[in-house]
């Protein structure tokens, strides 16, 4: 149960970060994805 909640929360954070980078920083979806790669790699390495 805790893993499901954690995965859902991380997905929500990733969605909000990508929207922030696209809408506030005015980057394209491709550029936003490239800038979020380190965040995704950190999540994979931690296992969250």
Cα distance from N-terminal residue to C-terminal residue, the chain: 13
> Model's pTM, two decimal places?
0.77
Q: Total structural domains in the chain?
A: 1
CA–CA dist 24, 40 (Å, integer): 20
Provide the phi-psi class of 11: left if phi over 0, else alpha when psi is between -120 and 50, else beta: alpha
CA–CA dist 7, 32 (Å, integer): 21
- Report the pLDDT value the prediction gives residue 48, as an integer from 0 to 100: 56
CA–CA dist 24, 37 (Å, integer): 18
pLDDT in tens, 1-48: 988 998 899 889 999 999 999 999 999 999 999 999 999 998 888 875
């Amino acid at each position: 149960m805790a893993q499901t909640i954690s995965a859902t929360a991380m997905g929500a954070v990733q969605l909000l970060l990508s929207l922030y980078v696209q809408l506030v920083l005015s980057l394209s979806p491709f550029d936003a994805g490239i800038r979020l790669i380190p965040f995704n790699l950190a999540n994979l390495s931690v296992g969250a």
